[in-house]
Amino acid sequence: MTSIRPSFIRVVFTAIALGSALMLSPAAQAADTSAAEQLQHWSAQAGTPGNVGKGEVFFNSRQGGEWSCASCHGTPPTTQGKHANTGKVIAPLAPAFNPKAFTVIAKVDKWFRRNCNDVLSRECSASEKADVLAYLNSLK
Ligand code: HEC
């Protein structure tokens, strides 16, 4: 068996460290949207502007299942929420109280998909998303 030189091992380790740093950094998720832009986007998709009152009712209502949006995000969602199942702390959903809310498209899409499924057993429609955003953006 040939012996592996320490310098070679150092190079390999440096490469692994650099590689994982590079792979991890996109997970920090650079901001690529905003709450205002999300409201605009979903209103355009719905063909009608998001409605604050409808969003508030939607957010606080159970839709046939065990949970409403408020079950985990609290009401109004201006302070930390708490996962109804796991107790995990959730940062405030209202953008005025959480500068990171609605700043990463992939995150917004992922959680809309997952949470709407948990609450409605289906995706939220574009107009439901627009209404929720209008409501959240109205909280100051
Ligand atoms: C079972 C608990 C639970 C319920 C019910 C729930 N959510 Fe969430 N939601 C979470 C968690 C956990 C996160 C991720 C928080 C984090 O990591 O920052 C989240 C994040 C989100 C995000 C991403 C926000 C961002 O930072 O960009 C949106 C949008 C969202 N939820 C909308 C909703 C809506 C709309 C409903 C109701 C249809 C709802 N949620 C119901 C647990 C829940």
- Domains, the chain, in order of start with CATH, read 35-138 (1.10.760.10)
Q: Decide if pLDDT at 1 tops 70.
A: no
Mutate to test the pocket of ligand 1, among 29, 115, 135 (most ligand atoms within 8 A of CB): 115
Does the beta carbon of 129 sit less than 6 angstroms from any atom of ligand 1? Answer: no
Mutate to test the pocket of ligand 1, among 73, 86, 102, 135 (most ligand atoms within 8 A of CB): 73
**Dmax of the chain from CA atoms?**
74
Average pLDDT, the chain: 89
Angle (CA) 137-140-74 rounded to 5° is 75
Phi, psi angle pair for 77, to nearest 5°: -80, 55
Tell me the two tokens of residue 27: 């997970």
Please give the distance, rounded to the nearest whole angstrom, from the Cα atom of residue 12 to the centre of ligand 1: 40
44-93 pLDDT, tens per residue? 999 999 999 999 999 999 988 999 999 999 999 999 998 988 999 999 99
Give this prediction's pTM.
0.84
In terms of C-beta density within 10 A (0-12 exposed, 13-18 middle, 19 or more buried), how is residue 31 classed?
exposed
12-29 pLDDT, tens per residue? 666 556 555 555 544 567
